[in-house]
C-alpha cells in the first residue's frame, strides 16, 4: 500500500501529534519554549492547509499552501532542536522526522504545481538583456 499523500489527512495527523508532543514535553520534561514554538508552527501547517480547501482562487490556494510549507519548514527546525537538546529520544525524533518529512515533501509538490513561478529563479543576465 502506498503511503497516504492526502495533505488534509497528513496535516491533521501531524498537528495532532504535535499537540500530544507539546503536552508531553511541557508536563513531563518541563520544556515550554521550543515546544510552544513547535506547537504554533505545527498546528499552523494544518490550519493553513484547511484554509486552502476554501480558497477563493488558484492564487489564494497557492498562497495558503505556501504559508503551510513555510510553517512546516519552521516545524522541522524545532523538531531538530528539541532532539539535539535531548528533549526527544532518537526513536521519538526519527518517527516525528519521518512524518514531518512526508508532510513537507507533499506540500512542496503541491506548491510547485499550484504556483510554479515561486520556484523559478530568474537569471540576472537575462533580465539585463531585456531592458
pLDDT digits (tens, 9 = 90+) for 85-101: 999 999 999 999 999 99
131 pLDDT above the threshold of 90: no
Calpha distance 26→18 (Å, rounded): 12
- Across residues 4-16, what is the average pLDDT? 92
Calpha distance 63→78 (Å, rounded): 23
118 pLDDT above the threshold of 70: no
Distance in Å from the first CA to the final CA of the chain: 53
Calpha distance 4→45 (Å, rounded): 17
128 pLDDT above the threshold of 60: no
Q: What is the pLDDT of residue 115?
A: 74
4 pLDDT above the threshold of 90: no
Lowest mean pLDDT across 11-15, 95-99, 106-110, 115-119: 115-119
Q: What is the pLDDT of residue 3?
A: 55
State pTM to two decimals.
0.83
**How far out from the chain centre does Cα 10 lie?**
10
Q: Which residue has the cell 519554549?
A: 33
Q: What percent of the chain has pLDDT over 70?
A: 85
Residue-wise pLDDT tens digits, 16-43: 999 999 999 999 999 999 999 999 999 9
Amino acid at each position: 500500500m502506498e503511503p497516504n499523500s492526502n495533505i488534509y489527512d497528513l496535516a491533521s495527523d501531524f498537528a495532532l501529534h504535535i499537540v500530544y508532543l507539546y503536552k508531553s514535553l511541557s508536563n513531563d520534561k518541563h520544556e515550554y519554549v521550543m515546544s510552544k514554538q513547535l506547537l504554533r508552527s505545527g498546528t499552523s501547517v494544518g490550519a493553513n492547509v484547511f484554509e486552502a480547501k476554501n480558497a477563493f482562487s488558484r492564487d489564494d490556494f497557492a498562497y495558503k499552501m505556501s504559508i503551510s510549507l513555510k510553517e512546516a519548514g519552521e516545524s522541522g527546525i524545532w523538531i531538530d532542536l528539541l532532539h539535539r537538546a535531548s528533549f526527544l529520544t532518537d526513536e521519538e525524533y526519527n518517527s516525528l522526522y519521518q512524518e514531518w518529512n512526508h508532510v513537507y515533501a507533499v506540500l512542496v509538490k503541491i506548491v510547485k504545481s499550484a504556483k510554479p513561478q515561486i520556484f523559478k529563479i530568474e537569471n540576472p543576465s537575462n533580465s539585463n538583456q531585456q531592458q
